[in-house]
Amino acid sequence: MTDRSRGDTLASHPTQVKTMTQEQKDFSDLPLNKQLLNALIENGFSKPTPIQSKAIPLVSAGHDLLGIAQTGTGKTAAFVLPLLMKVKYAQGNDPRALILAPTRELAIQIESHAQKLAIYTDLRIASIYGGSGTKLQKEKFEKGVDIIIATPGRFMDFYREQIFITKHIKTLVLDEADRMLTMGFGGQIKKIMEIIPSKRQNLLFSATFPPEVEELSHDFLEFPERVEIAPQATPSAMIEQRTYELPNRRTKINFLQYILEKEEEFSRVLIFCRTKKNASDVHHFIDRKITKASAVIHGNKDQNTRINAVNRFQNGEVQVLVATDVVARGIDIRGVSHVINYDVPHLNEDYVHRIGRTGRADTEGVAITLVMPQEWEKIEEIESVIKQKIPRLDLPSEVNIAPTEKEEAQEIARILDYQKQKRDPSYKGAFHARKEKSGSVPKERKHASKNKSKGRNKRGK
């Protein structure tokens, strides 16, 4: 394909990586009109963030753009502002710009961000997303729409139903491209590119730049300008990060109780769990045992329940929000005081996204990760992704350390054993010498595991 070879050539000559200049720009130095400048003032945005300063002139000049900047650095306005300049005023019935986002929460959030910036324009902005009925979303098209924000599946559904025509789309934005690809939207994105005009401006934003995103950028962008603000996957310097080792699940919940009760400055806490079940369990626990109000959002909750939970968290009615990765991804919640990784994330990059919920736009935040003995390996991987060591603190003496139940001890021992064997193939754990049946653990393993977790306990000190 000619597209491919073009991409490959470009890849070896990226159009220069822009670096921060000494002096900070003002929004009035950027190609924005009075309506937008007034909207910015109204929203309390006094200075552009670095990605905004760099991206807005390039996008306004009509370039394709690859924007890489960590979570919470203001990427939304970096593409929304020049897009509003370009689309300018309400015209015709059909959309002229399309923003694709991976989740409904994000689509809704981008819409509300765009609506706020567009208050002094007559632009019609609509978001469409799966997981809720189509009727209300279809109604948005009755009076015409200028800019659509969509999740890929719902966009295709509406296209097939001919709710709108795509031939006027002149700008395509892929937001959170890294997440789109981990969520498996690659194929759908390609289909969408086939049904919208090929002559258009393309913008791709991502917090991280793994090889899959690089490949997508080759297929998708034409002679792009590249704006990279922080080295990839670097958490904001405003976030204080800590880890604690918890010997077992009971102690984890005890520790959570301790920090939520003891520390009153834990005023707006976002807790991440790896599974829906853990998220529900943690939420119920907080409900029963702790005076702070909590809500939970995960994939089993319907759309309205989730929006409601986020709103109550946003307005302070709820101090603790428990979430899973997929659902929380991209949700913009301001002024989070603490992120707690109740479970170490599955994907290393999720660590960056999770802790990016705090320390946003010039405020400080704290990110606390609860680590089980078998999870230090994961933490080391994360540390190599973020290129920094995460300080490890001792558990406060007040935390009630529960004994490890037999089954859990066995499970931990099994994983540590496996990890050790992976690092040292000559190591023959008693475990792997035979085909293990779950639950039946040879006696001598327990000793080995005890010793090993002691060894791990010394880590980092």
Asked if residues 448 and 430 have their Cβ atoms less than 8 Å apart, the reply is yes
Q: How many residues bind ligand ADP (CB under 6 A)?
A: 17
Candidate residues 66, 68, 77, 213; the one interacting with ligand ADP per rule CB under 6 A: 77
| Contact partner, 262, from ligand ADP, Mg ion, none, Cβ < 5-8 Å per class | none
Q: Which is nearer to Mg ion, 141 or 209 (CB)?
A: 209
Which of the ranges 64-72, 121-129, 321-329, 383-391 carries the binding residues for ligand ADP, by CB under 6 A? 64-72
Cβ at position 443, least distance to ligand ADP in Å: 51
Cβ at position 288, least distance to Mg ion in Å: 35
| Contact partner, 64, from ligand ADP, Mg ion, none, Cβ < 5-8 Å per class | none
Candidate residues 10, 35, 64, 74; the one interacting with ligand ADP per rule CB under 6 A: 74
Candidate residues 105, 245, 332, 375; the one interacting with ligand ADP per rule CB under 6 A: 332
| Contact partner, 347, from Mg ion, ligand ADP, none, Cβ < 5-8 Å per class | none
Show the binding pattern over residues 33-52: x = contacts ligand ADP (CB under 6 A), - = does not: ------------x-xxx--x
Q: Which is nearer to Mg ion, 171 or 251 (CB)?
A: 171
Residue nearest to Mg ion (CB): 75
Q: Which is nearer to ligand ADP, 4 or 47 (CB)?
A: 47
Q: Which is nearer to ligand ADP, 92 or 231 (CB)?
A: 231
- For position 71 contacting ligand ADP by CB under 6 A, the verdict is yes
Q: What phi and psi, each to the nearest 5 degrees, are found at residue 236?
A: -55, 145
CA distance 201 to 195: 15
Cβ at position 313, least distance to ligand ADP in Å: 14
Which of the ranges 37-45, 74-82, 193-201, 293-301 carries the binding residues for Mg ion, by CB under 5 A? 74-82
Q: Which is nearer to Mg ion, 75 or 456 (CB)?
A: 75
- For position 341 contacting ligand ADP by CB under 6 A, the verdict is no
Q: Which is nearer to Mg ion, 101 or 372 (CB)?
A: 101
Enumerate residues 125-184 that contact ligand ADP by CB under 6 A: none
CA distance 272 to 370: 10
- For position 75 contacting ligand ADP by CB under 6 A, the verdict is yes
| Contact partner, 72, from ligand ADP, Mg ion, none, Cβ < 5-8 Å per class | ligand ADP
- For position 72 contacting ligand ADP by CB under 6 A, the verdict is yes
Cβ at position 74, least distance to Mg ion in Å: 8
CA distance 72 to 56: 17
- For position 360 contacting ligand ADP by CB under 6 A, the verdict is yes
Q: Rounded to 5 degrees, what angle do the CA atoms 81, 29, 239 make?
A: 65
Return the bridge partners of 66, or none. Answer: 204, 226
Q: Which is nearer to ligand ADP, 71 or 410 (CB)?
A: 71
CA distance 341 to 206: 22
- For position 75 contacting Mg ion by CB under 5 A, the verdict is yes
Which of the ranges 42-50, 70-78, 391-399, 449-457 carries the binding residues for Mg ion, by CB under 5 A? 70-78
Q: Which is nearer to ligand ADP, 289 or 334 (CB)?
A: 334
Query: To the nearest 10°, the Cα dihedral for 390, 393, 399, 403?
Result: 80
- For position 358 contacting ligand ADP by CB under 6 A, the verdict is no
Cβ at position 329, least distance to ligand ADP in Å: 10
Candidate residues 35, 53, 76, 127; the one interacting with ligand ADP per rule CB under 6 A: 76
Cα–chain center distance at 368: 17
Which residues sit at the interface with Mg ion, rule CB under 5 A? 75
Which residues sit at the interface with ligand ADP, rule CB under 6 A? 45, 47-49, 52, 69, 71-77, 332, 334, 360-361
